[in-house]
Amino acid sequence: MSYSIIVADDDTNVLSALKLLLELNEFEVSCVTTPEALIEQIKQRTFSLALLDLNYHADTTSGQEGLALIEQVSKLHNELPIVVMTGYSSVEIAVSAMQMGASDFIEKPWNNERLLSVVNNQIEKASLFARGNKLQAENDLLRDAHQSLKGQAQFIAQSGPMQLLLEQLNKLAKSDMSILFTGENGTGKSALAEYLHIQSSRADAPFVPVNMGAISSTLFESEMFGHVKGAFTDAKQNRIGRFELAECGTIFLDEIATIDLAQQAKLLRVLESRQFEKVGSSRTQSMNVRLVSATNANIQEMVKNGNFRQDLLYRLNTIVLEIPPLRYRKADIPMLSAAFIKEYASKYQMPEKRLSDKSMSVLTAYAWPGNIRELRHIIERAFFLANDDIIEPQSLGIIDGDVPGDNDKGEGFPIDWQQASLEDIEKAVISDRLLRFEQNPAQISDSLGLSRSAYYRRLEKYTLG
């Protein structure tokens, strides 16, 4: 990512020197010579940082013109980091600049290393602040969405097994214990991890989900712990990792059993010490996060076979909660189905439909190898295939209890093969395999000729996971 900097100074020699220095360090630089030009540029586009002189044509020593400019810039864009510079510095001017909204102060003639350090630090702080605000907004929305949990399909719990599970979660949410969710694909492990966070004392801090299966081994440390600029070839800027993003909140490690033994060792060290170092940095950072993880694998069997570290498992599973599959909670199917229908009616701005009695009988008799995720996909498809306001069994695509798609050889997902784009076709094929192979990642990725990480990237791209 290339960060943009606007530099304002009435001395063209200063502008040329700063432009050269910053562009050599891969910043995008815009230069202006007057306060009026600076304000016009900030009104027209977004910058990562403003580097401002304090003295222009009005006077040469007081800095008052620059201080007024800082105040104007702060009113226009209060999150833009401002670094001020002057050849006539004093403690009083520095304090005044900070009070007006400046982030830091540079003296002329400047030291290149210090200037670059200040610029990088202020951009990173602004980026962290923006990410924090985004995560906070997402969590606020999440809390609002969970105020009426019975109205949310993923938390419908009419069945005994789900009522018992939610009762346990409500108790465990008040603790900081590590929790491992187990269960088949599509049972709602990620939704329940979010629920746990919202009910916890950490609800005001970030909830950071991580699909471990989508992280390649070469980028594992950078993704999880962050890196500093220059740590490796493509490390052109500092980056914070997932653990740092989740500070004071909850980190959710989904598909935890997919990481290899080398990654497991790195993760174990961090969980044991509650400390980490960014790639390329020797500075140790402490962390305060709650760990929640999930897997659909038989992780105890993996431990026996030497594919998963037992000491790491002990760090993950202070409490193990198994999510019941949909076939064991069929009392939830009518309300889940109705909630999904309502969701798609709202999403596609179409009238609501309802399931006929025969359709409901088919749904409750079905074995649901793909669990809630499969039910969601079937309801969405039936919502469009139904000819009127009543969804009949033929629109469901479930034949004699078979897995949908087994009898139609890839044609179970309505698509115009003559007009469809490559992305439409790829999405349809992956959707079909999800049902054919009962959400099994290994079988699906093998059948598609994809690596596991490439398969997960496509799930995220098409929002099929």
**Identity (one letter) of the amino acid at 246?**
A
Per-residue tokens: 418 = 């003559």
Q: What is the pLDDT of residues 292-339, one digit of tens each?
A: 999 999 999 999 999 999 999 999 999 999 999 999 888 999 999 999
> Is the confidence at residue 271, as pLDDT, over 50?
yes
> Is the confidence at residue 420, as pLDDT, over 70?
no
- Closest among 105, 137, 101, 100 to 121, alpha carbons compared: 105
Whether 38 and 69 have beta carbons less than 8 Å apart is answered as yes
- Helix segments in 274-351, DSSP class H: 299-304, 310-316, 333-347
Q: What is the pLDDT of residues 192-216, one digit of tens each?
A: 999 999 999 999 899 999 999 989 8
**What CA–CA distance (Å, rounded) separates 277 from 179?**
25
**What CA–CA distance (Å, rounded) separates 48 from 80?**
7
Peptide bond into 324 cis (omega under 30): no
Instruction: Select the more confidently predicted residue: 131 or 342.
Output: 342
Task: Specify whether the backbone of 306 is left (phi greater than 0), alpha (psi in -120 to 50) or beta.
Answer: left
What sign has the CA pseudo-torsion 150, 156, 158, 164? Answer: negative
> Is the confidence at residue 411, as pLDDT, over 70?
no
Q: What is the pLDDT of residues 136-145, one digit of tens each?
A: 544 454 444 4
**What CA–CA distance (Å, rounded) separates 226 from 270?**
13
Half-sphere exposure at residue 459, Cβ-oriented, CA atoms within 13 angstroms:
20
Peptide bond into 109 cis (omega under 30): yes
Distances (CA, A) of 464 to 201, 212, 358, 432, 439: 31, 16, 28, 11, 10
Class of domain 327-461: mainly alpha
Class of domain 146-324: alpha beta
Q: What is the pLDDT of residues 345-354, one digit of tens each?
A: 998 899 999 9
**What CA–CA distance (Å, rounded) separates 268 from 249?**
19
Would you give the distance in Å from CA 243 to the centre of its chain? 12
**Paired residues of 84 in beta bridges:** 52, 105
**What CA–CA distance (Å, rounded) separates 260 from 216?**
10
SS3 101: coil
Q: What's the chain's length in residues? A: 465
Whether 222 and 240 have beta carbons less than 8 Å apart is answered as no
244 φ/ψ angles, rounded to the nearest 5 degrees: -70, -35
Whether 292 and 251 have beta carbons less than 8 Å apart is answered as yes
Whole-model pTM over 0.75: no
Q: What is the pLDDT of residues 210-252, one digit of tens each?
A: 999 989 888 899 999 998 888 887 777 778 899 998 999 999 9
**Paired residues of 179 in beta bridges:** 292, 319
Residues of the chain with CATH 3.40.50.2300: 4-124
Least confident window among 10-19, 55-64, 332-341, 409-418: 409-418
Q: Which residue has the tokens 């479930």?
A: 398
Within 114-205, strands assigned E span: 179-182
55 φ/ψ angles, rounded to the nearest 5 degrees: -130, 130
Distances (CA, A) of 60 to 86, 89, 326, 336: 10, 12, 75, 71
**What CA–CA distance (Å, rounded) separates 115 from 6?**
14
Into which CATH architecture does domain 4-124 fall? Answer: 3-Layer(aba) Sandwich (3.40)
pLDDT score recorded for residue 292: 97
> Residue 319 belongs to what H/E stretch?
strand 319-322
Least confident window among 282-296, 321-335, 362-376, 437-451: 437-451
Distances (CA, A) of 108 to 33, 84, 280: 17, 10, 31
270-285: b or e for each residue (b if 16 or more CB lie within 10 Å)? bbeeeebbbbbeeeeb
Instruction: Select the more confidently predicted residue: 152 or 76.
Output: 76
Residues of the chain with CATH 3.40.50.300: 146-324
